[in-house]
Every structure is written in structure tokens, then in C-alpha cells.
Structure 1
């Protein structure tokens, strides 16, 4: 099956004159999930949505839908072919280089195919902000445009001022820092070291170069959309939104599924963990999860295991296959017997449901923006362990701006030791002021997404705008 066939088979049949939006995420899970949830919100308001993935991601999402899911009846899920025959055979995700070179042509062909039909014409392209080339294509085709940022507004602002960073001698034209220093756009915004700029923590040098190239291209592309939406909240980042008033907060986006499950997961979720949580005491469980990209050395993996054991508290630890570098994970000898039923290791979790559960006391997190939003929306304090891209900026928000979490610090070897993990767990759980700040922040965030709140009103305005484009 090629991309054109799959799109036609999926889209033929609807003859109602609804506004039709083509949604294009960057092809990784942390970007797919919030855009799929935004898409479900649009569908609830009578808007037709065609959601585009690469074939590799499309198949993973379909296979991971929980039993009884009705997402496929709500969204028109289509795919474009992966970059090459070898990619199809090896079942690997597309690389950043392929996002730059392969995807644009395939997306343009898909748009031409759909717009060749009177019944399937696209009224609006809603594209991930990190792939501005999709907005360039929409502009060329005369299609209305909207961009969506799944990260913090502060991260988007930082990306848009890259030319100023070059001009001021902070980085060179390739994005390399000219010296180590801290960047802070205003005293009330998060700070970040030049060592931790998003494009410098995304894999090897080739990947870093491609990400920086994407970000440079996006600076011009961000002038094209009529709407620049962000999965954030004005009360979380007031000064970022004042710095860039064209960025419109509509988050944190919560699931539109009656089941409460997140949409767009790449792995099946272990729902049995919820019964175990029901048996735990209130505010007693440590939840540990590092997103879909994290790997760590075997030494670090075992230190984490020992730290959770030393905490003497119940815990849920999300451990995916190949979580350790170059080999399958290996727990310390006797670890599983010693922790017994107090510790639950799962392959992939219903994270949003877990963080809403009354038994959860804190979250040891990589500080991905989706995870951060889910945690602050539930008043759960965070122990920060960033690793990738924008996670260092998010950590600064958690620890320095909102003050709802603590940083886990490495030793001289670059290892976060078991004693550091145990001690920080105790500090967080015994810090009444931190818990109170977490509750107050939760209240502010939820007020924003309730009917009449700032994020809710912004989303309503965007939906009304789409309906005028039919």
C-alpha cells in the first residue's frame, strides 16, 4: 500500500460539508500525543481531521490502541511511506535528516491528492511548529495555516531568537556555543546553560546539525501561520507570552477520550497497575518514568534500582526493553526479591491515570514537557532528571521558577547515586511548602483549562476561526 492509496481509502466516504484540517506532527511520540489530543478536541466541535503519520508510527499507534478505543472512528488516520525500502524492512523510525529531505515531498503529494477531490479538500493545515516546511507547503497551495508548539513557550521563544544569539556572539552560525554561559531572557523566565541548548542534546553531531537546521528554517516559517498555538498556560509562563504575544496558550491539553487514556501512544499501556495503586496508601508511591527516548548505562540503571530500594517506599518504575545502553537491563542481584510487591516494574504505563491517582507522592521524571504538564496539572512534585533537548529548560521551570520540584545531582563520575536518589525522595516528601506550592500551581493550571479560563477561551477562538474557513 502506498501513501496515496491509504489516504484515499481512509478519507472517501465523508460527504458532509465540514471544515477539513490536515494535522502533521513531528514523527516522535512526545509530539504526536498532544497533537492527537488537540485533534480530538477539534472533532468534538464538528471539524473533520485527517491525522498524518509515517507508516512506522501509524502502525505502532494502531497496534497500541486500548481495547474499545473509538479514536479511529473519530479521526481519519493516514500515513505516508517511510523514507526507503530499507527503512520499511528494518522497521525503524525516520531520522531527523529524513524529516528534512524525505517527508516534505511526500506530504506535498498527499495534499495534492486530497485536494484533487471535491469532497476531501483541506481547509487548513495544522502543523507541528518544529516542521515549518509543512507551513511553507500550505502557503504555496493557498491553504490556511496554523502551527502548534508541543513544548514550553520559553523554548519556542529561545528558538526564534537564534539569530540574536549568533549576532551577540553566544553561538556560532552552526549553533555551537562560543563559550559556556547562562542564558536568561528575563529575570522571571527559566535560565539555561549554553551547554544545554536543545539542539546540542539530541544524539550525534549529524542529528544535532539537522535539528539546528530545522530550527533555523522554522524562524522564517513561523511568520506564515495565522495561529501559533502552544501546549502551555498563561499562568505557567506569563513572561514568555508577554515576550512573544503571537504565541497563544491552549494547554495543558487533556485527553478527550472518555476512558481518560492518552491518545497516540507507541506502546500498549499496562493498565493492571491501576489495581495495585488502589491498594497503596495515599501519597506514598514514587512514580519513575523517563519518556520514550531515554537510555542509561548499566551502572546508572543499578544505582537507580538501589535508590528506589533504599527509599523503602512503594514505587512504579517504567522500564522499557533496551533501557540500558547496548544491552537488556539487569537489576542488582536479589533486587526483585527484596522489593517484592512494593516495587512494580512495567513496560509502558498509563501515565496520566497514574499521576491523577491519590496514592502517588512524587514523580522522578526526565522533564519532557508532556510529563511536566501532566505532573503540575495534578499537583505532583517532581524530582528532575533531564537528558534530552528541551528537558533542561523545563527542569529550570520546575526547580527555579515554579519551585515545585528538586534536581537530582550527579557525582564526579556523572552518576546519580542511590544515596542521592534516596535523600532527594525524602526531602521532597517531607517538604510541606513544596507540596503546598504544587497544589497552588495545580489550581492555577486547572482554572486556565476550565470553561471560561484563558486556555479554554483561546482554544474556542481557534475552533471558531477554523469553522469560518469552510
Structure 2
């Protein structure tokens, strides 16, 4: 679409409202930087506790004198019965998570009051804030939905709403069935689908999304164009692929400083990786929310010992004061072979290093995308949220990963979950790390996708053009005072 150069040069004022878990907060903050780098004015609303994370993410954008800022609102801890500073990532059960979600609901009036004082031209809000669709209508401005999921997940979710979907007729949660309505036949089981409570939340989000102007997605159209077209055509919905937004971090410092503070310095990580052979290191991380219990950690440790590969393992929920013997085999020797990080890791830095040969991942959408950018094949181990769908995209559509064998969707990663045995873990790890013909083909496919991702965000690339088109459409609506 050609952009009208005669349109108003006045910058848009855009309010951005990210959800507060890192997998939502960081990519939308990075997308906010994309708008600011186009000389639009951006204000990000978040909680007081999350403001430093956002500030870290946008630091280099602000340093370039772009108009981007943070408006922090205190979280009502006392009102919902949570201790000060509590993070949703700390929740171990549904009752605690519900308290936090209720607290975000109590912040709604303060967010609305602030937006009324600003009179923005557009609201870009995470899907977990469906109320922003109706509120944007009261301001007579468009709301854009940010969904950190891939379009593949959204298309699959829509296909499962079909009253004739085969998942409604299988006799067991573990009986495989095939969805044939999509561009590719997708095999799954009911055990990999969200719990009913979560599914209802997704339904509310979808209804609010259909009242919005469109959806902004943190990936490039080349990754899943067939699914974007399927979804856009079926739901008459505008889809704007504008990512991968993490590519705004162009140098080492920017990649390390991104979001949370790392528990290890860039010098330590790079020095260790530099000492390893190309494609010899397995990187292991289950993201910022998922926490595995000791029995499962022990199986991973034993598998690493048996496979004898070098590794960097991010272990969430452990500190240096904990007794490691509860989750490591006796005489577990990591000297020279492994690096265990108990806290936040510089993931972008690790994935881009030539020594990193594979990524054992929970299949969070950001982790998958970051691996794709760097051409790193995956060992897939989904746990919650959209992660099983992402595994299907990686293994059944893109062909760039190997499954460990996870079967059960659970709200919380340590709740009544089947233990994946060391033999299964070792088998999947060896398959990806030992470098046979199948893995070489995976590396080739992943590298091709990574090259497309980098090209997409460059001037003239698909994501760059999609962002240009979206800004143009928003300015047209503003200048003509047209919405609805």
C-alpha cells in the first residue's frame, strides 16, 4: 500500500499497556520502541514495580532521543491481600494468581483517568486487558490488540471452536486427533489444550479483539503467512506482523541490559562460550514463569550427565543458598562442561553465539522467535499457555525442532504433571546435538527463517512496511476523525 505523503506530519500519541509477565511486558515495550523510532510519541502504562524493567528495555531507544516514556501506577497489594512487591511469576496456585489479576482490574480506573487527560490517538493494549476495547470506543479512538502468541495458535484456537471439532468426540484426553481445517493437518491430544477456566478467558479476549481495529504480532509474516491469512479472512480481522521487535537490540550491551538484570556478566558468558566448539552447547531455559520441581530437575541433570554435552542451564526458583543435592545427582560434575544460572540469563547473547547448538525450551513464543532469529534448532518441552501450540508450529509445520514428549497442559508447571524421564530427555537432546542429516536440515531451515526475520525489520522488509502501513492508517483515521 502506498503511503500518502500529504497526510499530517503531526506525530501520533500512542498509549501502550503491556501485561505484567515478562513474556508480554518485554516484547510490547520493544514494539513501543518501534513506534517511537518512527517519531511517534509513546507512553507506556505499567505498575510501579514493573517500571524499571520497562525502563531497561527502552533505555537505548530513549538514549536516541525518541519520544517514549513510562507512566507508573501503584499496584493495590493491600486491597487484594498480597505482600508488597509480589510478582505474578511468584504465584503457585490459582487463588494467588486470581488475586493478582483482580488487582490489575482495580487499576483500571486509574489507567482510564490518565488516558482521558492525555487524549491519545490510539491505544495498543495486551490481550489480557479486553476492557480497553470498550474504553477506546468512549474516546472515539482505535484500540490495537497486542498478542504475544503466534498467529498459528490463534488460528488453531479458532478451529477448535468448530462444533464438529474432533477433540469433542475422542474417548480419551490422550487419544490423538487431527485438525484438518488449517493449512496443514495438525495432530494433537485434548491433554495439550488449555483448562476450561483459561479457555473462557481466551473467549473473552477474542470477543474484545473482534471489536478492535486489528492485531499487532511480534513476528514476521514469512514465518506463518498461511495462518495469518486464514485468521484474517475467517474473522475479517486486520493482522500486522511488525517483529521480531527484539532486533532493536543491535549491540552486546543492549542485549544484556534488555529487561531484567542478568545474574551473570556478559564477559563470563562470552568467555565460557568462546572456549567451546561450534554448535556444541545446549542452552536450557523454561522461561520466566515455569518452575519445575526437584524430581524433574533431577531427571534433566541425569540426562545431561549421560549425554555428555556442554550446556548452559537456567534453573528458575533456586538460589545459591539452596541444597543442590535435592535436584542434582551425587558427584554431578559441571566443571568445564556446564554453567548453571539461578536467575535471569542474557538469552539473546547466548543464542547468537556460534557455540550454541540447540535450545531446550518451554516453547514460549518469545523464546521460539529468538531461537529462530539466530538459526538455533529446538528441543521442545511445553508446559502452559500457548506453549503446546508453539511446539506444534515448530515440529509439525516448520520442522525445526524435536519433542521431548510433554503431554499435559497445566495452569502451574509443578501441578500433577507427568515426569519426563531422563531417557526421553537424553534421546531428544542427542538427536539435536549429534548433528546427523535430520538436524542439518533443521539447521538449514532455521537459518533460512532467521535470515527472513532480519530482512523483515529492515527498511523495505515486510515487518517494516506493515508498521509503516499501520501508522499511516492510524493517522488517516485521526486526521479524518473516523473510527467506527
Q: TM-score if structure 1 supplies the norm length?
A: 0.81
Where does 1:321-340 land on structure 2 (aligned, <5 Å)?
Answer: 321-322=317-318, 330-336=326-332, 338-340=333-335
Structure 2 distance, partners of 1:232, 1:257, is 15
Greater Cα shift, 257-266 or 425-434? 257-266
Q: Structure 2 unaligned runs (5+)?
A: 1-8, 89-95, 233-237, 408-416, 480-484
Q: Structure 1 unaligned runs (5+)?
A: 1-15, 201-207
- SS where residue 380 of structure 1 aligns? coil
In structure 1, the partner of 2:116 is: 115
Deviations 1:377-427 (A, max 9, x none): 11111011111111111111111111111011369x933233333332222
Where does 1:148-297 land on structure 2 (aligned, <5 Å)?
Answer: 148-160=146-158, 164-165=161-162, 170=167, 182=177, 184=179, 185-188=181-184, 190-197=186-193, 199-200=194-195, 209=197, 211-245=198-232, 246-258=238-250, 259-261=253-255, 265-270=259-264, 271=266, 272-297=268-293
Q: How many angstroms does 1:70 deviate by?
A: 6.5
Deviations 1:116-163 (A, max 9, x none): 3xxx3322100112322122211222222211211110222344456x
The correspondence for 1:128, drawn from 123, 126, 129, is 126
The correspondence for 1:365, drawn from 361, 382, 398, is 361
The correspondence for 1:380, drawn from 355, 376, 382, is 376
Where does 1:420-459 land on structure 2 (aligned, <5 Å)?
Answer: 420-429=424-433, 430-431=435-436, 432-459=440-467
The correspondence for 2:69, drawn from 65, 76, 82, is 76
Are the counterparts in 1 of residues 302 and 329 from structure 2 also a CA contact under 8 Å?
no
1:398 is aligned to 2:398: no
Are the counterparts in 1 of residues 220 and 241 from structure 2 also a CA contact under 8 Å?
yes
Structure 2 distance, partners of 1:227, 1:68, is 28
Are the counterparts in 1 of residues 73 and 110 from structure 2 also a CA contact under 8 Å?
no
Change (3 A) 1:436 1:68: closer
Q: How many angstroms does 1:191 deviate by?
A: 4.0
Deviations 1:317-343 (A, max 9, x none): 1112349xx99784424445x220221
In structure 2, the partner of 1:143 is: 141
Structure 1 distance, partners of 2:258, 2:152, is 25
Structure 2 distance, partners of 1:262, 1:454, is 27
- SS where residue 236 of structure 1 aligns? helix
Q: How many angstroms does 1:292 deviate by?
A: 0.9
- SS where residue 26 of structure 1 aligns? coil
Greater Cα shift, 351-360 or 188-197? 188-197
Deviations 1:224-266 (A, max 9, x none): 2223111222222122112122322222222424534277634
Change (3 A) 1:80 1:214: farther
Are the counterparts in 2 of residues 189 and 240 from structure 1 also a CA contact under 8 Å?
no
The correspondence for 1:52, drawn from 33, 45, 54, is 45
Change (3 A) 1:83 1:213: farther
Change (3 A) 1:97 1:327: farther
Greater Cα shift, 220-229 or 400-409? 220-229
1:419 is aligned to 2:423: yes
Are the counterparts in 1 of residues 291 and 316 from structure 2 also a CA contact under 8 Å?
no
Q: TM-score if structure 2 supplies the norm length?
A: 0.79
- SS where residue 379 of structure 1 aligns? coil
Q: How many angstroms does 1:166 deviate by?
A: 5.2
